[in-house]
Structure 1
Amino acid sequence: MSKSDKRQPSSPREPVQIAVDEAVEAYLSRRETESKTMQGTVDTHRKRLNHLIEYCELEGIEYVSDLRGHDIEQYREWRRTEATEKVDVLAPKTLQEHMKTIRVFMRAMESMEYVTPGMADRVYVPEIEDEDETSDDILEYDRAEEILSHIAKAESGKAEEVVWRLFVGSGLRLGSVHSIDIPDVHLDAEVPHIELRNRPEEGTNLKNRDDSERRVFITEETAEAIEQYLQYNHPKVTDDYGRMPLIGTSHGRANPSTIRGMVYKWTRPCELGETCPHGKQPSTCETAENRDKPSDCPSTRSPHDIRRGYITHVSGGGVPPRVLSDRVDAEPETLEKYYDKNNDEEKMEPRKELIERIMQDEEEVNY
């Protein structure tokens, strides 16, 4: 056999392009043909993978081959904090089982040549010790204010300042900020506020669907930042449904990952000119040089961590749970379990001050 007759090694083939929802159906069809797979397992996987389909639609990811490791990582955070039902944060055990399904799905996609080899290994499945443990990740309110002060100078009147002011000053969820249209912003009202509306048929969902619809007052600084942004820097581009989003890009509504990236970026110490707590130099740090993957830095925090810090701060200031519950769209019990990180003494102090203030007012009236 001559050299020319020998089979030459083939180069890696490009993944076959297939829509995410079609890829999910192909996977489920395969599982259904496996004799050892129970129908209940198929149903469970379908329910879990429907969240992946929803996420890809929100992010504008058309083909399963377009998914990258950082997309899966951001999807995990979205699934944990945004795409939950009945609870405010997905239980660690539930999240673990969910991500196991994503990993199995990606292995099947590799074998079908719908994604590049190695994608399944990029799916992080969190380890847990206690099924009922909750996350302690938080961006302390004082630290958030410090970062916001820097952003207000570096990005004055721009989208990043508006996003940070909405998170830090209102404790909003990422999905809420993503859903706001310009007509939902009422700067000229007696009390400046934003109106949150659930529009699932137009690509923007609120956490608790219609129950999450409400009016949220905004600070004077937030109103001023929005006004400057709308006047000088807003791209004035509508989304696919003809709506004018508050947080826009040259292509329309900013994706949730774009907004999330604004938080990841500014919670990196090096972005603020601070010394890296991990002993790295920005010039040689792969994460610092790669602006598209700021979440790889151990110091980064998510929008949900800002929300946790806001709620802890406001709770510590003595705001009654029911009042705070209505503002941030979470049950008082949920706030206590997942958000309020004040210790018992810190929780006692605002109660004492509130009761003493009420008693003092009553004494003055009686007098």
Structure 2
Amino acid sequence: MTTPEDMTPREAWHRYLDGRRTEITEETASTYHYRLKLFVEWCEENDIETVSELNGWVLDQYESARSGEGIAATTLHNEMETIEKFVEYLERIEAVDDGLADRVNIPDVPTDQKSRETKLETDRALELIRYYRSSEQAGSRNHALLEVAWHTGARLGGLRALDLRDFDASEQTLEFVHRPETDTQLKNKHNGERIVGIRDGVAETLQRYIGSDRWDKHDDHGRQPLFSSLQGRPSTNTIRGWMYTATFPCVHGSCPHGHDPDDCEFRSHTHASKCPSSRAPHHVRTGSITWHQDRSVPREVTAERVNASQDVIDQFYDKATKRERMELRRRPHLEKLEIE
């Protein structure tokens, strides 16, 4: 019988991920898989045959090797954080010495680098939405997807998980439900479940989309996706591609990059992400959260709507500049400080 310390790094890697799949989403599992794959392959290249050979020096060598490849500081930070969790698992099953996880160095990342992120700017988002609402594209799939993403701040997985039944037109709400048994997990599982209220314009857009542009399809589990494709429920990559095309600047104006929309290669679904001005669902979420904050929506309300803690919002999602914070959030309160 193989003892824990005799496992190869590859065996331990697969065993660790297999044990965690019930508690993390497929997207998170995929991320862990890739990060640990790099570590395992490095171990094999350096003749580390069993996990019992792992020690502080080996972990330090790996960190130095990855750092020497010129990867971003945030990438190295995240990779070493994942390795720390992996080593904690190895400690728990008594495959390595106690305390080894404490020797995993997780490099600090400056706050500005942690939070540096592209977003869909508020002016652009509102310009796009106003255009969609008044154009022939009103009620199109791209229009509806952008409206929902912008007004709810939902993650890509949340958008994909929505069913037709999750939209209540009379109450003007969207309900996000964790349904892992039928292939739509929410990032925070049952803690990610919530009902989000939407404004008249968003509800009207969804009703128009459902009545005209939505494919009347069921997925492999008999459910009716709100955002459906010809095949049923779209993949995350498909939804990501839809959002890129929904946020093209040439949707409602001239190209800011000097391209002719009629022959621009970015206009194809496969190259949409290469357009410098197109935005992914995560960028829309980031812009949406910033917009919520700029509109003085209470932080706790925003946190509930977008399913993220206030600390995470402040650190990773709220992308307002110092000038924007002053003009949009603090200046309106100046009259409260008037003495006379």
Q: TM-score range by the shorter chain?
A: 0.5 to 0.7
Which amino acid counterpart does residue 140 of structure 1 have in structure 2?
E
**Segment of structure 1 superposing worse, 320-329 or 127-136:** 127-136
Q: Deviations over 1:275-330 (max 9, x none)?
A: 342x5545664434x33221122332211111111111211222221111111100
* Superposition pairs of residues 83-162 of structure 1, within 5 angstroms: 83=28, 97=35, 100=38, 127-129=71-73, 131=77, 132=109, 133-134=113-114, 135-152=116-133, 153-162=135-144
* Superposition pairs of residues 299-310 of structure 1, within 5 angstroms: 299-310=277-288
Contact 2:17 2:33 in 1 (8 A): no
Which amino acid counterpart does residue 240 of structure 1 have in structure 2?
D
Distance 1:126 1:272 in 2: 40
- Establish whether residue 181 from structure 1 lines up as the match of residue 163 from structure 2: yes
Match of 1:313 among 284, 291, 295: 291
Say which SS state the counterpart of residue 252 (structure 1) adopts. Answer: coil
Which amino acid counterpart does residue 72 of structure 2 have in structure 1?
I
Distance 2:330 2:29 in 1: 32
* Superposition pairs of residues 231-310 of structure 1, within 5 angstroms: 231-277=211-257, 279-282=258-261, 285-288=264-267, 290-310=268-288
Match of 1:220 among 174, 179, 200: 200
Give the unaligned 5+ runs of structure 2.
1-5, 43-68, 78-108
Give 1:49 deviation, angstroms: 9.7
Which amino acid counterpart does residue 146 of structure 1 have in structure 2?
E
Which amino acid counterpart does residue 224 of structure 1 have in structure 2?
E
1:170 counterpart residue number: 152
2:173 counterpart residue number: 193
User: Structure 1's 234 and 101: CA in aligned 2 closer, same or farther, altered over 3 A?
Assistant: farther
Distance 1:275 1:50 in 2: 49
Contact 2:9 2:40 in 1 (8 A): no
Say which SS state the counterpart of residue 320 (structure 2) adopts. Answer: coil
Give 1:226 deviation, angstroms: 1.1
Distance 1:48 1:295 in 2: 30
Distance 1:48 1:283 in 2: 47
Say which SS state the counterpart of residue 248 (structure 1) adopts. Answer: coil
User: Structure 1's 221 and 103: CA in aligned 2 closer, same or farther, altered over 3 A?
Assistant: farther
User: Structure 1's 268 and 236: CA in aligned 2 closer, same or farther, altered over 3 A?
Assistant: closer
User: Structure 1's 221 and 244: CA in aligned 2 closer, same or farther, altered over 3 A?
Assistant: same
Distance 1:245 1:270 in 2: 28
User: Structure 1's 127 and 194: CA in aligned 2 closer, same or farther, altered over 3 A?
Assistant: same
Which amino acid counterpart does residue 160 of structure 1 have in structure 2?
N
Distance 1:237 1:138 in 2: 32
Give 1:260 deviation, angstroms: 1.2
Distance 1:291 1:333 in 2: 36
User: Structure 1's 346 and 95: CA in aligned 2 closer, same or farther, altered over 3 A?
Assistant: farther
Contact 1:145 1:168 in 2 (8 A): no
Q: Deviations over 1:189-225 (max 9, x none)?
A: 2xx1011100001010111000000100112111001
Distance 2:37 2:271 in 1: 20
Contact 2:219 2:225 in 1 (8 A): yes
Which amino acid counterpart does residue 187 of structure 1 have in structure 2?
A
Which amino acid counterpart does residue 266 of structure 1 have in structure 2?
A
User: Structure 1's 261 and 103: CA in aligned 2 closer, same or farther, altered over 3 A?
Assistant: farther
Distance 2:33 2:334 in 1: 41
Question: What is the RMSD of the two structures over their aligned residues, measured on CA atoms?
Answer: 3.8
**Segment of structure 1 superposing worse, 325-334 or 308-317:** 308-317
Contact 1:96 1:126 in 2 (8 A): no
Q: Deviations over 1:14-47 (max 9, x none)?
A: xxxxxxxxxxxxxxxxxxxxxxx97345434666
Distance 1:303 1:126 in 2: 28
Contact 2:228 2:234 in 1 (8 A): yes
How many residues get paired? 267
- Establish whether residue 328 from structure 1 lines up as the match of residue 306 from structure 2: yes
User: Normalising by the residue count of structure 1, what TM-score does the alignment of the two structures yield?
Assistant: 0.62
User: Structure 1's 150 and 348: CA in aligned 2 closer, same or farther, altered over 3 A?
Assistant: closer
User: Structure 1's 99 and 275: CA in aligned 2 closer, same or farther, altered over 3 A?
Assistant: farther
Distance 2:18 2:261 in 1: 38
User: Structure 1's 173 and 154: CA in aligned 2 closer, same or farther, altered over 3 A?
Assistant: farther
Distance 1:44 1:296 in 2: 34
